[in-house]
A = this chain, B = another copy of it.
């Protein structure tokens, strides 16, 4: 900057003003242009650390995720967040906390670097108790719901997921539609189940809880789904995610049933691998991970900078994003992707 000031014959303060775009009506436009020209010629790159020292703003965002980065879930979320961050001139520091133990330490470490704000992400939409160390900083939850409903959050529309998936199976002519759900107490599980029930109701079908099995992602699951096959002979399956869809595939294969012909399956695409491998067999509801990440960052930046983000151009999305000032918590609409598993 000193070098630029010399070449331009002005002071560093002027250079600072110009390069920060605060020269409107303060610096003669001719001088300003000259400064800008010299800066580009010299390939000047501001030192964000130095300005941070003065302004207290680091343009660093902390992305705290419980396993999100380390498990197949929600990969696109980070990509979306990163895209938004770099678009808005921020840097994203992603921290995966394995258990609850290291979490506060990691947060403390981030804070020492002067993080401007935090994103707090969970693996699957659930009621979340936010660590107290995050209380006083700008914060946005991703795929999680604040227990008090006071913290901004970005979530998929879980009810709609259940409703759309089930409706698709109804339209495919399925009469005995099963739900292979999740045993953990998740918002995602509860709301999708409600969507499933509502769709059945709207289609004039009775809800029968014998057609619902909630399982974990482990050994007993296969037995449970197997029993469901034999006891209820469902012809349609709405699966909580693609890992659970696998159990249906395995059971079908063992019984000589073909997915897309004898039975229909719609699953939520949570683990990309499954969906890719089962493709083109699995019809999926796509979770808008990228959009959630992107929008959460946009929201966080709007909070930090105290300005509306209405002027940002959203990246291509699978579904229109709600306005940035939408009520909290805001739901993102999910899209049903048709493949070949529904007859």
Residues of A whose CB lies within 8 Å of any CB of B are 45-50, 52-53, 58, 69-72, 75-76, 78-79, 82, 86, 91-96, 98, 102, 105-106, 108-110, 112-114, 217-219, 243, 246-247, 249-250, 253-254, 256, 271-274, 276-277, 279-280
Contact = CB atoms under 8 A, between A and B. Distances in A.
Contact of A250 (B94, B253, B279): B253
Contact of A86 (B53, B109, B274): B109
A82 B96 contact: yes
Contacts of A106: 86
17 contacts: A49-B53, A49-B58, A49-B114, A69-B75, A72-B272, A78-B96, A91-B110, A92-B93, A92-B95, A94-B94, A218-B276, A218-B277, A219-B279, A243-B276, A246-B246, A246-B277, A250-B250
A214 B142 CA distance: 39
A273 B96 contact: no
A292 to B, nearest CB: 13
B72 A273 contact: yes
A113 B254 contact: no
Contacts of A70: 75-76, 78-79
Contacts of A277: 217-218, 243, 246-247
Contact of A273 (B69, B95, B273): B273
The 4 closest A-B pairs by CB, nearest first: A72-B72, A253-B253, A70-B75, A94-B94
A254 B94 CA distance: 43
Contact of A112 (B47, B109, B272, B276): B47
A50 to B, nearest CB: 6
A56 to B, nearest CB: 10
B273 A274 contact: yes
Contacts of A114: 47, 49
Given A91-B93, A92-B93, A272 B86 contact: no
**Number of copies of this protein chain within its complex:** 2
Contacts of A86: 102, 105-106, 109
Given A113-B49, A217-B277, A78 B69 contact: yes
Contacts of A98: 79
A136 to B, nearest CB: 15
A141 to B, nearest CB: 20
A288 B46 CA distance: 39
Given A94-B94, A250-B253, A272 B69 contact: no
B78 A75 contact: no
Nearest to A95: B82
A279 B218 CA distance: 7
A109 B93 contact: no
Nearest to A270: B273
Contacts of A52: 49
A277 to B, nearest CB: 5
A273 B46 CA distance: 43
Contacts of A53: 49-50, 53
Given A46-B112, A109-B91, A218-B276, A71 B69 contact: no
Given A219-B279, A254-B253, A271-B273, A94 B75 contact: no
